[in-house]
């Protein structure tokens, strides 16, 4: 049996392509923010991007607490100002 030696850089590129393909199968993480007053909807790719557009006072929760609340898909946060849901965009 002959062993094929693969250059390390080539291995990393193959590994990265594998993870990208797996991520596409799972879908892309979406954080949906629905403001109860005014019924406005916004969609973000991460919790930190929410806080680039809105302040903690606008949302009613700090970024750190919201990160802990939305650790898994399907988790949600509700207060008097907003409903925030983490889910996946299926392609």
Q: Is the pLDDT of residue 83 over 60?
A: yes
Q: Is residue 56 part of a domain?
A: yes
Q: How far apart are CA 8 and CA 82, in angstroms?
A: 48
Q: Is residue 13 part of a domain?
A: no
Q: Is residue 16 part of a domain?
A: no
**Tell me: the pLDDT tens digits for 16-72?**
666 656 655 667 899 999 999 998 999 999 999 999 999 999 999 999 999 999 988
Strands (E), the chain: 28-35, 40-44, 76-78, 82-89
Q: Is residue 4 part of a domain?
A: no
Predicted pLDDT at 2? 63
Print burial letters for 62-74: b (CB count within 10 Å at least 16), e (below 16): eeeebeeebeeee
Q: Is residue 17 part of a domain?
A: no
Q: Is residue 37 part of a domain?
A: yes
Q: Is residue 12 part of a domain?
A: no
For residue 33, the enclosing domain spans 27-89
Predicted pLDDT at 25? 61
pTM of the model: 0.70
Q: Is residue 32 part of a domain?
A: yes
Number of domains in the chain: 1
At residue 80 the predicted structure's pLDDT band, cuts being 50, 70 and 90, is very high
């Amino acid at each position: 049996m002959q062993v094929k030696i693969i250059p390390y850089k080539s291995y990393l590129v193959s590994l990265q392509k594998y993870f990208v393909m797996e991520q596409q199968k799972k879908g892309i993480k979406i954080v949906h923010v629905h403001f109860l007053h005014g019924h406005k909807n916004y969609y973000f790719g991460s919790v930190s991007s929410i806080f680039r557009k809105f302040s903690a006072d606008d949302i009613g929760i700090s970024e750190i607490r919201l990160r802990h609340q939305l650790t898994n898909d399907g988790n949600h946060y509700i207060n008097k100002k907003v409903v925030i849901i983490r889910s996946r965009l299926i392609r």
